[in-house]
C-alpha cells in the first residue's frame, strides 16, 4: 500500500488494475478524455500481464466488445462520456439482457459469479465540454444497470473494484458515474497492487453456448425480460447491501435529514460542516441513487420528519426516494427541487447545471426557517473583485491548426457566393471543428450528434435549395460519419463533405484513430485510407487536398461547392499540436546536447507597414497574432512564443507587413549576453503564512492556479500535487485537486483548484469563493478574474502581462477602449493592495531561458518566497523532479529560483541584472536616422531634419498631451511620403483639433486619423517602411540574440492601376529593390488613377474630422472618431471599411482638392498628388 497523487482518469484505471479487468475499451470524450492516454502510458506493463486495450471506433463498438469478452469469460472496463452512453445504449441493452459466460464460485459468498462488465460514464452537469446536459442516471436505470456514485478520489479508485464485484455477483452490467469535477480532479489516495488476470486465451466450444442466453431475438427476448425481472435484477439489492458503502454522519437524534450522492455530497458535507449544521441535522451519503437499499436507509428515514435531497440536474434521486418511502410505508416529507410552504412552492436546489458550494450555501440559508432548522447561517465570505469588466477569453483553434485553413477559405467562399445571391449552409457535429461557430469564422449553423452532421444537412437539403457544407473529423468519420456520406450519395443530396483529416482524435487529447497506423497498445496496424473508403461509396467526386495550399484549395472548394451532387473533399494535414510537439522535442534534445539548429524560421509583422486593419486575424483567428502600439494606436504583431511559423497568415496577402525571418545557427539561449541564474547560492527561507500545523488545526490551505492552456498552468498544479505526496511527513492530512481543463487545448482557460485539508474534513473539488490562500497565474487577465477566490488574507502572484484574447483583437474599440495590461495591473493593485504580487515572468523567462512557458515555475518561486505555501524547498525540488521531464528540470528549477530572487532582491535589481538595457535617447533620433537612410543622393537630408524638428515642435505646442515621439512619427511619415508637400496643410488642420476636441483622448484619436489622410501607404512609401532603420532595429532586438545572423525576407503583392487596369503580382523583393522603389515618387504622377479611391476616402474622413464629428454629442463623438480611425488597410480592405463607415460609394466620391500650402521642404509650386 502506497500513497500516490492521481487524477480522475488515473484513479479509474488504477482501480481497474487492482480489481482485475482483462479488457479496457470505450471511446474518449471529456471529462474522460485522458482515459486512453493513461492506458497508453502503461502499454508495456499491460501487455506483459495479458491485459488488452482497445480504443473502439465508437461507444457502441466498445459496448459490444464488452459482451464478447464476457462470453469469453473475461471482465471488461468500458469508459465513455455521457453522450457516448446514449450511443452505446443499444449494444448495452442487448448485452445486459443477455447473460453469457461461465460462472465460478465467489470466494467470499460461495455463490456463482459471472465475468463482469463495468461501464464508467463521465457526466458534465455544468456543460463545460458537452453538447447536451445529459443526466446518465436515467439511462443507467433504463438499461437495468445499477450504478455507484463515488464522492471522493479514494472512493473513485476503490469503487471500481466494488462495481466489478456488483457486476459479477448479479450477472448484470454495473455503472460508475462521475462528473467533470471528479474526472478532471483527483487527490492523494492509498493504492494497492495490480490484480492478476487470466493469461491464456480461452478455447471456447460454441456448442456450449445457450442461444436463449446469448441470442437476443424473439422469442428469447421475452425470456430474458422475465429472467431480468424475476431472477437477475433482484440480486442487486443484496449485493449492494453486502458492499455496505452508504454512510451516515451528523446528529444521531436529528428530525431533519439531508441525503446526497456522488461528488456533490462532498460539497454539501463541506457546507454543512462550515455552517455548523451537522450538530443539528443528519447527513446520509448514498453509494447509489438506484436502486435504493433498505438495510441502512430505511431505519434512517424512519427516524426523520423531513428529508432534503441535494442532487445535481433533475430530481432523479428525489423521485426514487419518494417511491421508496411509499413502498416501505415511511411517512416523511421529501424536499429537493421545490419546498412546500403552505400552498406556495419555494424553489429548492436548481434542476439545471451543477451545484457549487455557493449555491448550496445560499439555498440552505434561505430554507433554514422553512425547514424549522436552527438559526445558524453560513454567511458568504467577503470576496474581492477587480473593478470593471474584463474581456472574455473565447476558445479558438490552436496555432497552426489545419482546420483554420479550411474555415478561412469557407468564410471567403461564403462572401463570394453571397455576392452571387447564393446562401451557403454549413453543418457539423462533435470535434475540434465544433468551434467553427465562434468568431471570426461563424461557419457552423447547426450541430448534431457525433457523426450525424451530414444526416442533419440531408434533412435540410431535402427541403431547401441552398448548397450545404458538412464538416467532419477523421475520427468522427470512422465513428458514425461514413453512414451519413453513404446516405447522401444514395439520396442524391447537394452536399459537400469536408473531412478534416488530422491523423488523430485531437479534441480529446490526440488518441489514435484508424488513420494513425499504431494502436493504443503501441502495436503497428494498417493505416485505413479515407480516400479509398469514401470512393467506394460512389460520391460524385472525391478530392484530397493539403489545406496549406491556399490558392489550390480555394479553387477546389469554390468549384466543388458549386457543382451539384454529393462531393467529398479530404483536407489532410497533421494536427499542429502533435507535429510541433515532435519538432520541439527534437530541438530540446539538440539544445541540451549543446548543438545549434542550422536554421529557424520565424514570421514577424513590420509594425510601420501594418495598418491594423485586422484582416489577418479576421481571416485566421490565430492566437499567434497579438497587438502592439505605436503612434497610430494598436498594430498587429506576432508572438514568437505562440506562433508555430506555419506561415498561413502570410498567404492572406491583405498587406505587405508580413516578413519571414531566418535565424542562422539558432539556439534560444546560447547567444544571450545575460548572466546565468545561480541556483546554488542559498536564499533566506520565507515566513510561511499557513503551515501544516495550521491545516491540522482545521484551517485548510487552498490555492487556485489559472491561465491559458499551454502556458504552464498544469505544470504548477502538478508540481504542487507532487509536493503533497508525503505532506512533509505529516499524518492525518488529505489532498484534493481539480484541473478544470475544458477547452484548454483550444486556448481556453485552465483553472486548477488544490486543497490540503485535515483528512477527516470534507473537501469539495472547487475552492469556495473568498476562502483561498493563494492565486497563481502566468496571465494577468486570467489571474485578475480569479481573485474572487481569495480570502481577505490571501495573496495573488500574477504575471504583469497577458496573452491577448481573440475577443479583444476582433473588437475595434468603437464602444470602449480595450483594457491594457497597465490598466488591469492598476485595477488589480487597487483591489488587493499589497496582496498583489506582480512579476514580468513571461518576458524574463523568455529572455533567460528561451521560452516563456517557464514563467509558471518562476511565479511558483515568487509564491514560495512570499510564504504562500506550506511545503519545504526540498518538497518542491523533489516535486519538480517528478512532475516535469528530466530534460526540463534544470530550466524549471532555474525559473523557480529566479522567482525567489525576484522577491528577495526586488524587481528593480532583477531588471538591472537580467533585463534589457533601453537606450535613453532623443525620441526623434530613430526618426532622424530613418530620414537620413531614405535620403536620395540628390536630396539634402539637413532640410528634412529641420522640417522634422520644426513641425514636431509646432504640434507639441498645440497638443502637449500627446507624446513627442508620436507627433514626430506623423511628421516623419509625411516627409517620407512626399517630402512634406502637404505638411503645412496637416499642421494647420492639426492646430484646429484642440478647439474642436477638448478631451485629450479624443484629440489623440483625431490626430492620428487626420495624419493618415495626408499619405497613402503605396508601394513607394511602403518600400521605405520595409527597409527603414526603425524596423531593422526592431528585428535585431527580437531575433538578434537567437543566432549567429538574422535575415529578413519580405512577402509582398504590389498593385498598380495602369490605363484603368489593375496589375498585381506576388513578389519577395530584395532590399536593393525596395531601396530603389522608395525614391520612385514620380509613379504617382505617371499613374494618375493609382490612388483615386484612396484620395477620395481620405478627403471625406478629413472633412468629417474637422467639420461633422465635433458637432456630435460627447457620448457619440468618440464612437464616430473610432469608426473613422478604423477605416484602414490596403486596397479592398480599406474600400470595404470605407463603405461600411462612410456609406455606399464613399470610395468613389469626388471632392475638390485643396491647394497645398507652401512647405519648407518641397519645391515651390510642386503638387502633392
pLDDT in tens, 826-882: 999 999 999 999 999 999 999 899 888 999 999 999 999 999 999 999 999 999 999
The architecture of the domain spanning 402-574 is 3-Layer(aba) Sandwich (3.40)
The mean pLDDT of 1042-1069, rounded to a whole number, is 88
Residue 1138 pLDDT exceeds 90: yes
pLDDT tier at 920, thresholds 50, 70, 90: low
Name the superfamily (CATH) of residues 2-197+207-239: Thiamin diphosphate (ThDP)-binding fold, Pyr/PP domains (3.40.50.970)
The pLDDT of residue 860 is 98
The mean pLDDT of 668-677, rounded to a whole number, is 85
- DSSP-assigned letters across all residues of 96-158: HH---S--EE-TTT-SEE---EEEEEEE-TT-SS-SS---HHHHHHHTT--EE---SHHHHHH
Query: What's the sign of the alpha-carbon dihedral 182, 184, 188, 193?
Result: positive
Q: Name the burial class of residue 903, with classes exposed (0-12), middle (13-18) and buried (19+) by CB atoms within 10 angstroms of its CB.
A: buried
> Quick one: which of 863, 844, 862 has its CA closest to 854?
844
Give, to the nearest 10 degrees, the angle between helix 1000-1012 and helix 1092-1103.
160
Beta sheet of 749-758, edge-to-edge order: 2-7, 185-191, 733-740, 749-758, 701-708, 772-777, 790-799, 836-839
The pLDDT of residue 513 is 81
pLDDT tier at 1147, thresholds 50, 70, 90: low
Give the E-state strand segments of 251-378 in sequence order.
256-261, 282-286, 306-309, 333-335, 338-341, 344-347
**In this predicted model, what pLDDT tens digit does every residue of 443-484 receive, in sequence order?**
999 999 989 999 999 999 999 999 999 999 999 999 999 999
Q: Name the burial class of residue 316, with classes exposed (0-12), middle (13-18) and buried (19+) by CB atoms within 10 angstroms of its CB.
A: buried
Of 897 and 920, the one with more pLDDT:
897
Residue 229: strand, helix, or coil: helix
**In this predicted model, what pLDDT tens digit does every residue of 179-225 receive, in sequence order?**
999 999 999 999 999 999 998 888 888 888 888 888 888 988 999 99
**In this predicted model, what pLDDT tens digit does every residue of 584-615 receive, in sequence order?**
889 988 998 889 999 999 999 999 999 999 99
| DSSP-assigned letter for residue 1156 | P
**In this predicted model, what pLDDT tens digit does every residue of 266-317 receive, in sequence order?**
999 999 999 989 999 999 999 999 999 999 999 999 999 999 999 999 999 9
Cα–Cα distances in angstroms (integers) from residue 358 to residues 47, 271, 498, 579, 970, in the given order: 46, 9, 45, 43, 54
Q: Are 190 and 199 in contact (CB under 8 A)?
A: no
For 692-914, CATH number? 3.40.920.10
User: What are the beta bridge partners of residue 627?
Assistant: 636
pLDDT tier at 430, thresholds 50, 70, 90: confident
Q: Are 841 and 801 in contact (CB under 8 A)?
A: no
> Quick one: which of 395, 1123, 1099, 317 has its CA closest to 749?
395
The pLDDT of residue 532 is 95
Q: Residue for cell digits 461509396?
A: 537
The pLDDT of residue 150 is 98
Distance CA 879, CA 871 (A): 10
Q: Name the burial class of residue 961, with classes exposed (0-12), middle (13-18) and buried (19+) by CB atoms within 10 angstroms of its CB.
A: exposed
Cell of 2: 502506497
The mean pLDDT of 581-586, rounded to a whole number, is 90
pLDDT tier at 958, thresholds 50, 70, 90: very high
- pLDDT, mean over the chain: 92
Give yes or no on whether 2-197+207-239 and 247-371 have one common fold: yes
CATH 3.30.70.20 correct for 596-666: yes
- Helix, strand, coil percentages for the chain (3-state, nearest 5): 45, 15, 40
Residue 515 pLDDT exceeds 90: no
Q: Kind and range of the H or E element at 827?
A: helix 821-832
pLDDT tier at 432, thresholds 50, 70, 90: confident
Distance CA 458, CA 748 (A): 33
Of the given ranges (34-43, 672-681, 931-940, 1100-1109), which has the lowest mean pLDDT? 672-681
Distance CA 618, CA 393 (A): 16
Of the given ranges (78-87, 202-211, 698-707, 891-900), which has the lowest mean pLDDT? 202-211
Residue 373 pLDDT exceeds 50: yes
Query: What's the sign of the alpha-carbon dihedral 196, 197, 201, 202?
Result: positive
Q: Where are the domains of the chain?
A: 2-197+207-239, 247-371, 402-574, 596-666, 692-914, 925-1148
Residue 1153 pLDDT exceeds 80: no
- Calculate what percentage of the chain has a pLDDT beyond 90: 77
Residue 1088 pLDDT exceeds 90: no
The CATH class of the 247-371 domain is: alpha beta
Contacts of 893 (CB under 8 A, 6+ apart): 679, 857, 877, 880
Of the given ranges (428-437, 612-621, 976-985), which has the lowest mean pLDDT? 428-437
Residue 1162 pLDDT exceeds 50: no
The mean pLDDT of 1059-1076, rounded to a whole number, is 88
Amino acid at each position: 500500500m502506497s500513497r500516490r497523487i492521481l487524477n480522475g482518469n488515473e484513479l479509474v484505471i488504477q482501480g481497474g488494475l487492482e480489481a482485475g479487468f482483462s479488457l479496457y475499451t470505450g471511446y474518449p470524450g471529456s471529462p474522460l478524455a485522458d482515459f486512453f492516454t493513461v492506458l497508453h502510458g502503461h502499454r508495456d506493463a499491460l501487455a506483459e500481464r495479458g491485459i488488452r486495450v482497445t480504443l473502439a471506433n465508437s461507444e457502441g463498438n466498445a459496448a459490444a466488445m464488452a459482451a464478447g469478452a464476457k462470453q469469453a469469460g473475461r471482465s471488461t472496463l468500458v469508459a465513455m462520456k455521457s453522450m457516448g452512453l446514449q450511443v452505446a445504449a443499444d449494444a448495452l441493452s442487448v448485452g445486459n439482457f443477455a447473460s453469457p459466460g461461465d460462472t465460478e464460485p465467489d470466494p467470499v459468498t460461495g455463490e456463482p459469479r459471472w465475468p463482469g462488465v463495468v461501464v464508467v460514464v463521465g457526466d458534465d452537469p455544468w456543460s463545460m465540454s458537452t453538447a447536451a446536459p445529459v443526466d446518465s442516471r436515467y439511462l443507467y436505470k433504463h438499461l437495468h444497470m445499477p450504478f455507484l456514485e463515488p464522492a471522493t478520489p479514494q472512493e473513485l479508485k476503490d469503487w471500481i473494484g466494488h462495481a466489478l464485484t456488483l457486476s459479477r455477483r448479479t450477472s448484470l452490467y454495473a455503472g460508475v458515474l462521475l462528473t467533470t469535477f471528479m474526472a478532471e480532479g483527483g487527490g492523494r489516495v492509498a493504492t494497492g497492487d495490480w490484480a492478476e488476470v487470466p493469461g491464456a486465451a480461452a478455447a471456447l466450444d460454441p456448442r456450449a453456448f445457450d442461444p436463449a442466453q446469448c441470442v437476443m431475438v424473439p422469442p428469447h427476448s421475452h425470456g430474458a425480460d422475465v429472467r431480468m425481472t424475476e431472477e437477475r435484477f433482484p440480486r442487486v439489492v443484496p449485493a449492494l447491501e453486502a458492499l455496505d458503502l452508504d454512510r451516515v454522519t451528523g446528529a444521531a437524534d436529528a428530525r431533519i435529514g439531508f441525503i446526497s450522492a456522488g461528488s456533490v455530497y462532498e460539497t454539501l458535507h463541506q457546507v454543512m460542516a462550515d455552517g455548523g449544521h451537522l450538530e443539528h441535522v443528519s447527513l446520509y451519503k448514498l453509494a447509489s441513487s438506484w436502486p435504493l437499499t433498505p438495510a441502512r436507509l430505511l431505519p434512517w428515514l424512519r427516524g426523520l420528519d423531513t428529508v432534503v435531497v441535494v442532487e445535481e440536474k433533475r430530481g432523479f434521486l428525489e423521485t426514487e426516494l419518494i417511491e421508496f418511502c411509499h413502498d416501505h410505508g415511511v411517512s416523511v416529507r421529501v424536499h429537493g427541487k421545490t419546498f412546500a410552504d403552505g400552498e406556495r412552492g419555494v424553489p429548492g436546489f436548481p434542476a439545471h447545471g451543477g451545484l457549487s458550494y455557493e449555491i448550496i450555501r445560499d439555498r440552505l440559508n434561505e430554507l433554514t426557517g422553512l425547514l424549522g432548522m436552527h438559526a445558524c447561517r453560513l454567511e458568504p465570505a467577503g470576496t474581492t473583485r477587480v473593478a470593471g469588466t474584463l474581456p472574455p477569453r473565447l476558445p479558438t483553434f490552436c496555432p497552426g491548426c489545419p482546420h483554420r485553413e479550411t474555415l478561412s477559405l469557407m468564410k471567403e467562399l461564403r462572401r463570394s457566393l453571397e455576392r452571387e445571391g447564393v446562401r451557403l449552409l454549413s453543418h457539423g457535429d462533435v470535434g475540434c471543428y465544433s468551434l467553427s461557430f465562434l468568431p471570426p469564422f461563424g461557419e457552423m449553423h447547426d450541430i448534431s450528434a457525433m457523426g450525424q452532421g451530414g444526416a442533419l444537412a440531408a434533412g435540410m437539403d431535402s427541403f431547401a435549395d441552398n448548397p450545404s457544407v458538412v464538416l467532419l473529423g477523421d475520427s468522427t468519420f470512422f465513428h458514425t460519419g461514413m453512414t451519413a456520406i453513404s446516405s447522401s450519395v444514395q439520396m442524391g443530396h447537394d452536399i459537400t463533405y469536408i473531412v478534416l483529416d488530422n491523423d488523430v482524435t485531437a479534441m480529446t487529447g490526440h488518441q489514435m484513430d484508424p488513420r494513425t497506423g499504431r494502436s493504443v497498445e503501441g502495436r503497428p496496424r494498417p493505416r485505413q485510407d479515407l480516400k479509398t473508403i469514401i470512393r467506394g461509396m460512389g460520391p460524385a467526386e472525391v478530392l484530397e487536398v493539403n489545406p496549406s495550399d491556399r490558392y489550390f484549395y480555394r479553387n477546389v472548394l469554390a468549384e466543388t461547392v458549386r457543382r451539384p451532387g454529393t462531393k467529398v473533399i479530404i483536407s489532410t494535414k497533421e494536427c499542429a499540436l502533435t507535429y510541433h510537439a515532435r519538432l520541439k522535442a527534437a530541438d530540446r534534445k539538440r539544445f541540451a546536447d549543446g548543438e545549434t539548429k542550422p536554421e529557424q524560421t520565424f514570421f514577424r509583422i513590420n509594425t510601420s507597414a501594418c495598418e491594423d486593419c485586422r484582416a489577418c486575424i479576421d481571416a485566421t483567428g490565430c492566437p499567434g497574432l497579438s497587438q502592439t502600439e505605436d503612434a497610430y494606436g494598436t498594430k498587429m504583431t506576432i508572438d514568437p512564443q505562440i506562433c508555430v511559423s506555419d506561415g498561413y497568415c502570410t498567404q492572406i496577402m491583405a498587406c505587405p507587413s508580413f516578413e519571414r525571418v531566418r535565424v542562422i545557427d539558432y539556439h534560444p539561449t546560447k547567444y544571450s549576453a545575460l548572466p546565468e541564474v545561480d541556483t546554488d547560492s542559498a536564499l533566506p527561507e520565507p515566513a510561511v503564512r499557513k503551515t501544516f500545523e495550521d491545516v491540522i488545526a482545521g484551517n485548510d490551505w487552498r490555492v487556485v492556479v489559472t491561465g491559458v492552456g499551454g502556458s504552464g498552468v498544469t505544470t504548477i498544479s502538478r508540481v504542487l500535487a507532487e509536493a503533497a505526496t508525503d505532506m512533509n511527513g505529516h499524518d492525518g492530512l488529505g489532498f484534493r485537486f481539480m484541473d478544470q481543463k475544458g477547452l484548454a487545448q483550444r486556448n481556453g482557460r485552465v483553472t486548477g483548484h488544490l486543497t490540503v485539508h485535515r483528512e477527516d474534513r470534507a473537501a469539495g473539488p472547487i475552492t469556495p469563493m473568498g476562502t483561498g490562500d493563494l492565486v497563481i497565474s502566468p496571465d494577468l487577465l486570467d489571474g485578475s478574474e480569479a481573485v474572487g477566490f481569495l480570502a481577505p488574507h490571501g495573496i495573488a502572484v500574477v504575471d504583469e502581462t497577458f496573452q491577448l484574447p481573440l475577443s479583444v483583437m476582433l473588437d475595434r474599440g468603437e464602444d470602449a477602449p480595450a483594457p491594457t495590461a497597465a490598466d488591469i495591473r492598476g485595477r488589480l493593485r487597487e483591489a488587493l493592495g499589497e496582496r498583489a504580487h506582480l512579476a514580468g515572468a513571461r518576458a524574463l523567462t523568455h529572455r533567460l531561458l528561451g521560452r516563456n512557458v517557464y514563467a509558471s515555475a518562476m511565479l511558483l518561486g515568487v509564491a514560495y518566497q512570499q510564504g504562500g505555501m506550506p511545503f519545504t524547498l526540498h518538497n518542491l525540488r523533489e516535486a519538480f523532479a517528478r512532475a516535469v521531464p528530466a530534460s526540463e528540470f534544470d530550466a524549471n528549477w532555474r525559473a523557480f529560483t529566479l522567482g525567489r530572487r525576484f522577491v528577495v532582491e526586488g524587481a528593480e535589481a532583477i531588471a538591472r541584472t537580467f533585463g534589457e538595457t533601453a537606450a535613453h535617447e532623443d525620441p526623434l533620433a530613430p526618426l532622424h536616422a530613418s530620414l537620413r537612410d531614405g535620403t536620395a543622393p540628390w536630396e539634402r537630408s539637413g532640410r528634412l531634419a529641420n522640417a522634422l524638428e520644426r513641425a514636431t515642435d509646432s504640434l507639441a505646442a498645440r497638443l502637449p498631451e500627446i507624446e513627442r515621439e508620436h507627433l514626430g512619427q506623423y511628421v516623419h511619415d509625411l516627409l517620407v511620403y512626399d517630402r512634406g508637400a502637404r505638411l503645412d496643410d496637416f499642421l494647420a488642420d492639426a492646430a484646429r483639433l484642440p478647439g474642436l476636441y477638448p478631451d485629450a483622448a479624443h484629440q489623440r484619436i483625431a490626430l492620428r486619423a487626420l495624419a493618415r489622410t495626408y499619405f497613402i501607404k503605396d508601394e513607394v512609401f511602403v518600400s521605405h517602411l520595409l527597409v527603414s532603420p526603425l524596423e531593422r532595429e526592431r528585428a535585431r532586438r527580437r531575433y538578434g540574440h537567437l543566432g549567429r545572423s538574422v535575415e529578413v525576407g519580405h512577402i509582398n503583392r504590389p498593385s498598380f492601376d495602369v490605363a484603368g487596369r489593375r496589375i498585381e503580382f506576388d513578389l519577395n523583393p530584395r532590399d536593393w529593390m525596395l531601396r530603389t522603389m522608395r525614391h520612385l515618387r514620380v509613379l504617382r504622377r505617371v499613374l494618375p488613377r493609382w490612388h483615386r479611391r484612396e484620395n477620395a476616402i481620405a478627403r471625406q474622413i478629413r472633412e468629417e474630422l474637422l467639420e461633422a464629428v465635433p458637432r456630435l454629442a460627447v457620448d457619440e463623438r468618440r464612437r464616430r472618431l473610432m469608426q473613422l480611425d478604423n477605416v484602414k488597410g490596403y486596397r479592398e480592405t480599406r474600400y470595404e471599411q470605407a463603405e461600411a463607415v462612410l456609406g455606399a460609394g464613399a470610395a468613389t466620391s469626388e471632392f475638390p482638392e485643396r491647394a497645398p500650402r507652401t512647405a519648407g521642404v518641397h519645391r515651390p509650386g510642386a503638387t502633392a498628388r
